[in-house]
Amino acid sequence: MPEALRMARGLDLDLVEVAPNANPPVCRIMDYGKFKYEEDQKAKEARKKSTNGSVKEVKYRPKIGKGDFDTKTRNVIRFIDEGHKVKVTLQFRGREMAHPELGAKILDDVLEAVGPAAKLDSRSRLEGRAMSMVLSPDKQAQEAMKKAAAEAAKQAAADEAEAEAESEGD
């Protein structure tokens, strides 16, 4: 141990005990400040990558118009594409409570409009005067959709180039 400490001081580095319970104890000669800095950077990077998006809420009503429905549903899709979870809430007022099946139909329409980009976390359920469900992004389905869109764009460009070549040949 004193020999290792002497070697570390000679190299102007630190002697760090890696496994104190081993027999004999395992030590390593390193720059501890640099090691600590790199560990902090790795932890920071890991935290940055693990951003579990916040939960966004979009509220609907049973008597919602087509335009409003489309706009709100576009927002749901945008939130899911950004990686956020989305809580879709349907607010009932007064006598609308007598027809919860209308609310369930609207929530099903939202789920259908979002498509495979999202998966259902919690099924729609009635809580007081509100019916809600939670959607979360489906990473694999989103990747598959992006690949399909890229392939379609590539194919369209090839078809366009072929058509242009044919028109020049005429």
Closest C-alpha to 92, from 80, 83, 104, 81: 104
Q: How far is CA 46 from the centre of its chain?
A: 15
Q: What do you get for the CA distance between the two ends of the chain, in Å?
A: 87
pTM score of the predicted model: 0.56
**Other CB atoms closer than 10 Å to residue 139's CB: what's the count?**
11
pLDDT at site 72: 92
The region, left, alpha or beta by phi > 0 then psi within -120 to 50, assigned to residue 99 is: beta
**Other CB atoms closer than 10 Å to residue 74's CB: what's the count?**
11
Q: Rounded mean pLDDT of 37-41? A: 91
Let me know the angle formed at the C-alpha of 61 by 142 and 120, rounded to the nearest 5 degrees.
30
The per-residue pLDDT for range 121-149, each reduced to its tens digit, is 777 778 888 888 888 887 777 677 777 77
52 — pLDDT class (breaks 50, 70, 90): low
Closest C-alpha to 134, from 148, 163, 114, 159: 114
